[in-house]
Amino acid sequence: MGISPAEITLVLEPSHRLDVIDVSQRIRQELGDVFDRYRRTLYCSHHTTAGYLDQSLCSRLGYSRDRLGSILHLFQQIFPANADYEHDKLHLRHELSDEQRKTEPKNADSHLAFITSGLKNCVTYTNRPETAVHFIDLDGVHEHGVRQRRTTALAYNREEQVGSLEFSVPVSRHSIDSVNLRDPKIGFFETITGLVRSHGIEKGRIDLSLDADETHSGLTVNEYETLLMRHDLAEVLRDPMQFMARHGRNLVKDPRAILNKTRDYASYDLVRVFNEVLDATGISESRFERLIARFMAGPAQKFLRMKRSVSLLVSDSGDGPYVVQGTYQSPVLVQWGPAENLARRLHISLISFS
């Protein structure tokens, strides 16, 4: 008989706003070599500005903490802190109380960097001895203090698809739009929760993917805050370079430049910063090089290339099996082009671990 999956939830305390923390090292400190008995581990972040990169990319970078930090530094340059983001205008955030406004961090830049840099809430790694697994925090320290972060690691040997279904997500007529899949009116979470319970899964994963015919659309897991999604992200989708030219505090070299030259200055600085990242990491012809080329091309469909699939952790560590979601996490469907019949098709797969 095989051994049962092993699960641990860690509490992490970052030391910098952008911090890269070796979670595998922390697991060894707390559990010893227990995870070495398993072939794979799913890592899940409970936060919207902290997560993981795919193992394939980390392997190409030699699992180097410094190289990963250099790549994320690029996105900090694209989305600088304390720029004029709608999400950071706290007086417009009606969901916040007066007390919450006093301590709420201004972190639209971190959300946008998470969505566009390839960071994920859930990743699955093949276990290899002494291989680092890095939890990347884009917003760990802010003006009001240090955050406490939570991440779950679930080690297992085998996975099996035990259920699947299709789900139609209603979308608006607007070409640029986003849909909160956690909205009760849509019924998505009720559907996947029912799928989990009907199969009695204790440990596993839900994979969500867009139908192959769905174009100009993507998926992410992030905070669905109206100003962030309907204004800041929408502006990126419409014209990434114009967004960068408008918001980059230090990216436009000559503040007296006429407006139609700001894109040229932004392009110049983006190339400069990107070359610094390439020098620091030693990578070339990479996913990030192609991404920057798309960014400079202008339209979102040439740049963003948002993920077409995301995963959610299923665990029975609480009151029965449930889909693990952090307080502010929501699966979000984003589109930058109209959808046929005002709907987008999702494929849902339920995976059981053993």
Domains and CATH numbers, the chain: 1-157 (2.60.120.460)
Q: Residue 306 and residue 236: Cα distance in Å, rounded?
A: 12
User: Residue 42's beta-bridge partner residues?
Assistant: 124, 154
Q: Over the stretch 219-272, which tens digit does the pLDDT of each residue have?
A: 999 999 999 999 999 888 877 666 776 776 444 444 444 344 444 444 445 555
What's the pLDDT at 288? 52
Mean pLDDT of 160-164: 97
In single-letter form, the type of residue at position 282 comes to: G
DSSP state of 232: I
What's the pLDDT at 283? 57
Contacts of residue 118, Cβ cutoff 8 Å, sequence gap at least 6: 53, 54, 57, 287, 307
Q: Over the stretch 265-294, which tens digit does the pLDDT of each residue have?
A: 444 455 555 555 556 556 554 555 555 555
DSSP state of 138: S
DSSP state of 320: S
What's the pLDDT at 57? 86
Q: Residue 156 and residue 147: Cα distance in Å, rounded?
A: 30
- 8 A C-beta contact, residue 281 and residue 67: yes
Strand 134-137 and strand 19-22: the pairing is antiparallel
What's the pLDDT at 289? 53
Closest CA to 77 of 65, 69, 88: 69
Q: Over the stretch 299-334, which tens digit does the pLDDT of each residue have?
A: 444 444 578 999 999 999 877 778 999 999 999 999
The per-residue pLDDT of the chain, averaged, comes to 84
Per the listing, tokens 């276990």 go with 127
Task: Say whether 230 sits in a helix, a strand or coil.
Answer: helix
Q: pLDDT above 70 covers what percent of the chain?
A: 81
